[in-house]
């Protein structure tokens, strides 16, 4: 009996280790939506470990008010941020969009995660070489807050869409939303394998842990019906920032990725930007 129990435990550990590998290889879902405004520059820049990123830089037809750097979420690419970038372009900003490694046509890299997203954001920040408005969605938002924490002098305003509060809790919630059995039976061990693989740093870079050190204006954007990261994540994250520095916009009826499609979204962006960076 003891032998059977030990074999079962070993099989479970090996299976969850394999599943941990698989969740890092979730099929990519790039979209096609190139910028259709301003003066577009399509280029490549270098990132860490010899990698390279595809980058769009879109200059407005009028004198620029500054630069907005937009980071997509897991499995997507730079085109996913075009509609959001267009709103900033209409406000007179230069917009920069890149695909993270292993996404779009950027160079490949195994085991992408929020740390790697942050590395790619930092590469683009260094290429831009001036303070920016930083916008991240989902995994890109987690990468954005890590990058902002490490480069506070390079960030004027921070936008976090579809972000979570605590990393491990969020992953377990995400797996349950995809498949309840997987989330309950395998999810906790998959998250533990990840934490081991990432040298137990996942809690240390949880957005809510980094928030108190970011004394910049922040707009948190979250879907009312987000099943992966329920709205409670957004409230907790907002309350983690210094008093009065973070605001929350809730996309009514929106899921994880659709807050930007709600009618109120463009005005929320415009109001937040103009209050903190009044047009000259």
**242 within a domain of the structure (yes/no):** yes
* pLDDT mean across residues, the chain: 93
- With CA atoms as reference, report the closest residue to 213 among 244, 245, 246, 241: 241
In a domain, 253, yes or no: yes
Q: What is the pTM of this model?
A: 0.93
Closest CA to 271 of 198, 231, 233, 219: 219
In a domain, residue 125? The reply is yes
**CB contact at 8 A, 113 and 136:** no
Alpha carbons 279 and 20: distance in angstroms, whole number: 47
In a domain, 239, yes or no: yes
Record the tokens describing residue 186, joined without a space.
Answer: 């395998």
In a domain, residue 158? The reply is yes
b/e 190-199 (16+ beta carbons within 10 angstroms → b): bbbbbbebbe
User: Is 228 part of a structural domain of the chain?
Assistant: yes
Residue-wise pLDDT for 227-273, tens only, equals 999 999 999 999 999 999 999 999 999 999 999 999 999 999 999 99
- Alpha-carbon gap, residue 221 to 207, rounded angstroms: 14
**What pLDDT was estimated at residue 60?**
95
232 part of a folded domain: yes
- The pLDDT value recorded for residue 32 is 94
Task: Decide if 216 is inside a domain.
Answer: yes
CA geometry: angle 72, 76, 82, nearest 5 deg: 55
CATH number of the domain within which 225 lies: 3.40.50.1820
Domain residue limits at 61: 37-179+202-276
pLDDT at 183 exceeding the cut of 80: yes
HEC per residue, the chain: CHHHHHHHHHHHHHHHHHHHHHHCCCCCCCCCCCCCCCEEEEEEEECHHHCEEEEEEEECCCCCCCEEEEECCCCCCHHHHHHHHHHHHHCCCEEEEECCCCCCCCCCCCCCCHHHHHHHHHHHHHHHCCCEEEEEECHHHHHHHHHHHHCHHHEEEEEEECCCCCHHHHHHHHHHHHCHHHHHHHHHHHHHHHHHHCCCCCCCCCHHHHHHHCCCCEEEEEECCCCCCCHHHHHHHHHHCCCCCEEEEEECCCCCCCHHHCCCHHHHHHHHHHHHCCCC
Please answer whether residues 158 and 149 qualify as being in contact, where contact means their C-beta atoms are separated by less than 8 angstroms. Answer: no
257: which 2 tokens?
Answer: 């990725």
Each residue's pLDDT tens digit, 112-143 = 889 999 999 999 999 999 999 999 999 999 99
Mean pLDDT of the 199-214 span: 91
Q: Quote the number of domains for the chain.
A: 1
pLDDT 10s digits, 60-105? 999 999 999 999 999 899 999 999 999 999 999 999 999 999 999 9
């Amino acid at each position: 009996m003891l032998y059977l129990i030990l074999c079962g435990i070993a099989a479970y550990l090996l299976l969850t280790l394999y599943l941990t590998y698989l969740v890092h290889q979730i099929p990519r879902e790039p979209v096609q939506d190139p910028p259709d405004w301003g003066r577009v520059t399509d280029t490549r820049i270098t990132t860490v470990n010899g990698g390279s990123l595809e980058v769009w830089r879109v200059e407005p037809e009028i004198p620029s008010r500054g630069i907005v750097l937009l980071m997509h979420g897991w499995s997507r690419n730079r085109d996913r941020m075009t509609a959001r970038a267009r709103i900033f372009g209409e406000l007179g900003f230069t917009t920069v969009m890149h695909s993270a490694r292993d996404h779009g046509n950027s160079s490949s890299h195994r085991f992408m995660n929020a740390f790697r997203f942050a590395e790619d954001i930092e590469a683009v920040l260094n290429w831009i070489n001036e303070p920016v408005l930083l916008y991240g969605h989902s995994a890109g938002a987690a990468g954005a807050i890590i990058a902002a924490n490490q480069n506070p002098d390079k960030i004027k305003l921070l936008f976090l869409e579809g972000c979570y509060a605590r990393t491990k809790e969020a992953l377990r919630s995400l797996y349950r939303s995809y498949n309840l059995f997987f989330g309950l039976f395998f999810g906790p061990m998959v998250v533990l394998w990840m934490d081991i693989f990432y040298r137990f740093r996942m809690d240390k870079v949880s957005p809510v842990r980094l928030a108190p050190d970011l004394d910049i204006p922040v707009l948190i954007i979250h879907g009312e019906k987000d099943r992966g990261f329920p709205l409670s994540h957004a409230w907790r994250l907002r309350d983690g920032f210094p008093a009065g520095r973070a605001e929350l916009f809730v996309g009514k009826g929106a899921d994880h990725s659709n807050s930007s499609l709600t009618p109120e979204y463009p005005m929320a962006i415009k109001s937040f930007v103009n209050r903190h960076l009044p047009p000259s």
